[in-house]
Amino acid sequence: MNEKPKIAIFKFTGCAGCQLEFLHLEEIFLDILELFDISYWVMVKRDNDETGWDISLVEGGISTPEEIEEIKQIRMKTKFLVAFGDCAIGGCIPSIRNWTPQLDAESQVYRDTSVIQSTKVFGIGEYVKVDAILKGCPAHRDTIVELLKSALLEIRPRLRQHPVCVECKFRDNACLITSKKMACMGPVTSAGCGAICPSLGRECEGCFGPMSNPNTSALASIFKDLGFNEKDIKRKFRKYAGMSPEFRKEAGH
């Protein structure tokens, strides 16, 4: 590319943690500004250019009719659209409400629901074509850097597909399932975090979403053998990626 690639960063239904993760690239942030034109980012800029972008990073799931229209507009003006974090990929924690009847969920939050128009929470891929996904809650800084580097080289980003267990073994951890009978989601969860939680003695909660082709029924069966009931097991699979095709069955769809 002769000119700096134009980047946009958008927020839908999420907590802004993925955008903060981008800001946390502090030691290389000035380099990023040298190499890219961040032309749209409402969280950090007053003047934003809405004419079109080479890369759009979209944080958050889609949860209202207005957001459905907005994501379609963004897609039309974007060459390479990225689902930035688990909410944009599959709804993530906000999608937990999808298991509650819509009006019940709305009335738990709003006194007057007559002015509320919400939909079930889905990832952006439910409505538009997505070119890459950056997994994690929040998306991990290493994957953001990988995406930016590959954009400069004009190649596809290389993003991990193997499970957390691989990283856990690289760190020489004793397995929490076999040694402590803990319900660890590592065998079905995508790597990328460096197995932070098992390395600190905590089970993986699945915050990087499903790995490629996970055997979820085998893990659910192991959890059952460990003594977890059906409700607990469903909660495990619902927490971060219950709407994903990979986790939907064990999440109770």
> Under the criterion CB under 6 A, does residue 92 sit at the interface with ligand SF4?
yes
In this chain, which of 8, 105, 164, 220 binds ligand SF4, going by CB under 6 A? 164
Nearer Cβ to ligand SF4, position 103 or 174? 174
Helix-helix angle 216-225:230-241, to 10 degrees? 140
Q: Cis omega before residue 245 (within 30°)? A: no
How many residues form the binding site for ligand SF4 (CB under 6 A)? 34
Site string for ligand SF4, 103-142 (x = CB under 6 A): ----------------------------------xx----
Secondary structure (3-state) at 126: helix
Give the separation between CA 167 and CA 191, rounded to whole angstroms: 7
Give the separation between CA 44 and CA 33, rounded to whole angstroms: 13
In this chain, which of 9, 55, 57, 60 binds ligand SF4, going by CB under 6 A? 60
CB of 91 to ligand SF4, least distance (A): 9
> Under the criterion CB under 6 A, does residue 5 sit at the interface with ligand SF4?
no
123 touches 91 (CB < 8 A):
yes
> Under the criterion CB under 6 A, does residue 151 sit at the interface with ligand SF4?
no
Strand (E) or helix (H) holding 108 = helix 102-109
> Under the criterion CB under 6 A, does residue 67 sit at the interface with ligand SF4?
no
In this chain, which of 8, 71, 93, 159 binds ligand SF4, going by CB under 6 A? 93
> In this chain, which residue has its C-beta nearest to ligand SF4?
186
In this chain, which of 143, 189, 216, 244 binds ligand SF4, going by CB under 6 A? 189
- Considering only the stretches 28-36, 70-78, 105-113, 181-189, report the one whose residues sit in contact with ligand SF4 under the rule CB under 6 A: 181-189
Task: Check the CA dihedral 160-17-146-243 and report its sign.
Answer: positive
* Beta strands 6-11; 78-84: pairing state: unpaired
**100-104, Cβ contacts within 8 angstroms, sequence gap of 24 or more:** none
Phi and psi, residue 252, nearest 5°: 105, 20
> Under the criterion CB under 6 A, does residue 207 sit at the interface with ligand SF4?
yes
> Under the criterion CB under 6 A, does residue 147 sit at the interface with ligand SF4?
no
The angle formed by the CA atoms of residues 44, 50 and 51, to the nearest 5 degrees, is 140
49 touches 9 (CB < 8 A):
no
Which residues of the chain form contacts with ligand SF4 (CB under 6 A)? 14-15, 17-18, 59-60, 85-87, 92-93, 137-138, 164-165, 168, 173, 175-177, 184, 186-187, 189, 193, 195-198, 204-208
